[in-house]
Amino acid sequence: MGGVSPKDNYAAAVSSARRLPNGHTLIGFGMEKGRNGSSGPTEAFEVTKDGSIAWHVVVDGVMTLFRVEPINAFEP
């Protein structure tokens, strides 16, 4: 991931984790910094079975992210 990794993040009310069929874990932290005591940022990432980060994204401009869902296919 080019050295990018999520820091300790605390979401006071909204976050999610889901084990994927390939054994990876999809994680979302859903509250911006300062909202209800959350540390922020609003972000999502996928962690491999060995604990490496497969991808990571910070979602700017969003106060609350309910959950992260896997996308199996994308068709424009």
What per-residue confidence (pLDDT) applies to 20? 93
Summarize the confidence of residues 34-60 as an average pLDDT: 88
Residue among 35, 27, 25 nearest 58 (CA): 27
The pTM of the whole model exceeds 0.95: no
Report residue 30 CA to chain centroid gap.
Answer: 8
| pLDDT given at position 61 | 84
If one compares 1 and 73, the residue with the highest pLDDT of the two is 73
Place of tokens 């869902």: 69
Asked if pLDDT for residue 70 goes beyond 70, the answer is yes
Residues near 74 by Cβ (< 8 Å), separated by ≥ 6? none
3-state secondary structure of 35: helix
Q: What is the pLDDT of residue 2?
A: 41
